[in-house]
Structure 1
């Protein structure tokens, strides 16, 4: 039986500004990528999401980012490796401290946005992120794309591959930039079909029509798109109907 984790980005509000329905998504997903305050999130939101995750038995992950609140972490930055390591370490430690007060803990790390895409191809920044994880807890898995530069930089860390049901892929297996048209797939039936195909067949169709092999243990559903909760529910239901067991990887 195929086994797949469903992860989503949570806690991406800030102060009085909210984004997505964290509580509803926590009823669907198995892993929560919680914003740590650098691209979104604040201590109160982080605490609420961690409490909700613990209550529902959802695994908590630190979604680390460039220090970029204004750009939602989607602007690529040239950050010196020692500084990036320290900033990622800061974020993991902050979220883990809050999670532990709620009876949980950080169980994995996933970069966000521009940092996610950068470490997939840049061995220097990939190593900086891996060094932060290793310094805090070498038992924490890193969630990334198949073929990412993180695999080479991890050096003994556990690296877990994920796929995106609602994102377009290049022929090389990278995510199409959000600056490009069609980068995000909004048609619910298409997203559901892609999720099942990824979990059952381990493949996805790229933008050029070619088939890409994926060996992913987790599928990401975005929580900041219209109809995100209903889409996540549809994805989980379709996976279960296809005989896929939905379970956290960490």
Structure 2
């Protein structure tokens, strides 16, 4: 099992470009981010600075969101008709970053009140572009309690969208916290043939493993892919990691 740190939710007391090095200092070799810029098409200097921060820290970028509106309280742009141009303008930038850093997973959040027609078209376009750098496009299910306007709140809803897109490199982002809140069958979600990446937080509370009641170590026993740490922890206590089994395989994300 291999853990990567989501540096958009952890180490947030530091400037964004200092977080990859902080993750490395904490013992991690990989990171992931929500969209790390304040616009869909940042300038070359901003992109280069982000890439340099990853490389200089000596970590791998495992996952990256396409442009999202999380800082504004949103849940992505993929299915929002009014944001089609903004999302499509971002695709080449996100894919370009992924290609330069060897990132194999790009998360395309569906969006609050997202609609099927723009979502399917946007996901298909993103998938074709991502294929050029051997990356997958991820579709994530959230929970209705925190995201009441987000249409995809079950494994079936997300995988139905993936199947409708019809591109071989569109996969399911299996976030065990969100699925647990929705009462989903977590072992089945992990074993789903479309699952391409996993994220964790304990439930309730969305804290680090051990702060809630989810049997995360048991659920993930034998899982060989990257596991994104997308939880809240102001104490940055990673002591729980040493209690879990050490990784035994170097298996890449499903492609």
User: TM-score if structure 1 supplies the norm length?
Assistant: 0.59
Aligned with 1:21: secondary structure? Answer: helix
Q: Is residue 164–residue 221 contact of structure 1 (8 Å, CA) maintained in 2? A: no
1:93-112 matched pairs, under 5 angstroms? 93-98=92-97, 103-112=100-109
CA contact (8 A) 1:6 1:29 kept: yes
1:76-155 equivalences in 2 (<5 Å): 79-80=80-81, 83-84=83-84, 86-98=85-97, 103-112=100-109, 115=111, 123-124=116-117, 126-138=119-131, 139-145=134-140, 146-147=155-156, 148=158, 149-155=160-166
d(CA) in 2 for partners of 1:53 and 1:19? 8
Unpaired runs of at least 5, structure 2? 141-154, 187-202
* Offset, 1:227: 3.1
Aligned to 1:93, the other structure's residue is in SS state helix
The Cα shift of 1:151 comes to 2.0
Structure 1 CA distance for aligned equivalents of residues 81 and 49 of structure 2 = 32
Question: What residue is the counterpart of 1:58 in the other structure?
Answer: 60
RMSD of equivalent CA atoms: 4.6
Q: CA deviation at 1:226?
A: 1.7
State the alpha-carbon separation in 2 of the partners of residues 134 and 125 from structure 1: 14
Q: Distance in 1 between matches of 2:97 and 2:205?
A: 32
Q: Deviations over 1:70-96 (max 9, x none)?
A: 515348897218x43x43332232244
- Residue equivalent to 1:156: 167
| Partner in structure 2 of residue 24 of structure 1 | 22
Distance in structure 1 (CA, Å) of the matches to 2:220 and 2:16? 31
Structure 2 distance, partners of 1:195, 1:9, is 21
Q: Would you say the 8 A contact 1:35–1:64 is kept in 2?
A: yes
The alpha-carbon distance between structure 1 residues 161 and 80, as it changes in their structure 2 partners (threshold 3 A), is closer
Query: Under a length normalisation based on structure 2, what TM-score does the superposition of the two structures give?
Result: 0.58
Q: Go from structure 1 to structure 2 and tell me whether the alpha carbon gap of 1:133 and 1:38 turns closer, same or farther (over 3 Å shift).
A: farther
Gaps of 5+ in 1: 175-181, 203-215
Aligned residues: 214
1:37–1:107 distance in 2 versus 1, CA, 3 Å: same
Distance 1:90 1:163, change over 3 A: same
Q: Does 1:234 align with 2:231?
A: no
Q: 1:234 to 1:11 in 2, by over 3 A?
A: closer
**Counterparts of 1:172 and 1:165, CA distance in 2:** 9
Aligned pairs (5 A) from 1:180-219: 184-186=205-207, 188-190=209-211, 194-200=215-221, 217-219=225-227
Aligned positions of 1:8-19 closer than 5 A: 8-10=6-8
* Gap change, CA 1:7 and 1:79, over 3 Å in 2: same
Q: Is the 8 A contact 2:205 2:212 kept in 1?
A: no
Q: After superposition, give the CA deviation of every residue in 1:206-237 in whole Å (9 maximum; x if it has no partner).
A: xxxxxxxxxx9543312664234x34x634x3
